[in-house]
Amino acid sequence: MKNNIEKAYFLKLTRKILSWYDLHSRNLPWRETQKPYNIWISEIILQQTRVEQGWNHYVNFIKRFPTVKELHEAENDEVLLYWKGLGYYSRALNLHKASHQIIEEYNGEFPDTFAGLQNLKGVGKYTAAAIASISYGERVPAIDGNFYRVFSRILADDFDIASPKAYSYFYDLILPFVDKDRPGDFNQAVMDIGSQVCKPKNPDCVNCPVNEECLAYATNRIQELPVKSKKIKVETLDLHYYFVKYGDHFLIRQRDESFIWKKLYEFPDEIPDELKDCIVFEKTVQHKLTHKTLNITFSRVEPEDEMIFEKLSSNGNYIIVDIEESHKKSFPKPLEKIIQEWD
């Protein structure tokens, strides 16, 4: 009898979630197709990015790179340029690397399983589950922060979502709810409920489609859940950049793939002692990343001799650009602001 009760509960809850989605699903450009390429691009863009911000980037990215073939054939710099404004540029680099995998290792075809998709560079369990369920109909939950929050509350479950075991625990917990005929719609429905209704703060419980089944709502525990005990340790770093400018030109170079801001362009981070007398202005800004707080000092350097400027360029493997040329390069946001301010 217990199993029958549980099965009826799962079916009722799933039916309500899908019925709500049929009426209230968001009209988003990546939902106009089930092509794995488009779903992949949208999911990578939406990591650490709000839908409103990611919308135009998705449209522009797909317009320029409509298939994995065009993405594979593009240069790194161009891929980064179309990622400009989204931040977390390692996502774009991983997209490009994965496009090479798909073309060179999979004959241009995406892996078509949850497990296989995780072999692609930058594709974790959540993204793999989203593609597998939406594009291939695999019955697998796409577990992200929305899923943790929605199901912690529905089931009044206080399992710590910061625990290393959280994913496997919630995977087993949520799997019975995933509709076998519409797994992709189910996953997108929970994403929408989590972002529009069951929000972290001030959730709209009155209009929630499953408020009658929600144990946290019934016991007034909504604000207690989900439980997340682990604190993110934020590292503080001090950086110093020199904006070396002569006439209309200044020096930049491309980062390697170590440390932060992989493959983006930057200013010199050191100059000869004799050039320090040419510093005309300095300012310090703070820039916050997920796990780091950067205190960045910028020094504007204006050498009087063009030969010194060119010598510094050759000795430091820097390239000389003007403002127009710099617009074709991708810079970290705080450096881009300095270019705009100090041009």
* For range 289-300, the mean pLDDT: 92
The letter for the amino acid at 223 is: Q
The predicted pLDDT at position 185 comes to 98
DSSP 8-class letter at 64: H
Burial of 167 (0-12, 13-18, 19+ CB in 10 A): middle
Helix (H, G, I), strand (E, B) or coil at 25: coil
Structure tokens at 176: 């019975």
Q: Which residue has the higher pLDDT, 59 or 274?
A: 59
The CATH code of domain 235-342 reads 3.90.79.10
* For range 231-245, the mean pLDDT: 90
Is the pLDDT at 3 greater than 50? The verdict is no
- Please tell me the pTM assigned to this model: 0.87
Instruction: Assess whether 270 carries a catalytic annotation.
Output: no
Is the pLDDT at 76 greater than 50? The verdict is yes
Q: pLDDT averaged over the chain?
A: 93
Q: Which residue has the higher pLDDT, 229 or 152?
A: 152
The predicted pLDDT at position 2 comes to 39
CA distance 188 to 167: 18
pLDDT band at 4 (very low <50, low <70, confident <90, very high): low
The secondary element (H helix, E strand) that includes residue 147 is helix 145-154
The CATH code of domain 4-219 reads 1.10.340.30
Looking at 6, 43, 213, 306, which residue is catalytic?
43
The predicted pLDDT at position 310 comes to 83
* For range 187-213, the mean pLDDT: 96
- Domain borders along the chain are 4-219, 235-342
Helix (H, G, I), strand (E, B) or coil at 239: strand
- Estimate to the nearest angstrom the gap between the alpha carbon of 296 and the chain centroid: 23
The reply to whether domains 4-219 and 235-342 share a CATH topology is no
Q: What is the per-residue pLDDT across 158-183, written as a single tens digit (0 to 9) for each? A: 999 999 999 999 999 999 999 999 99
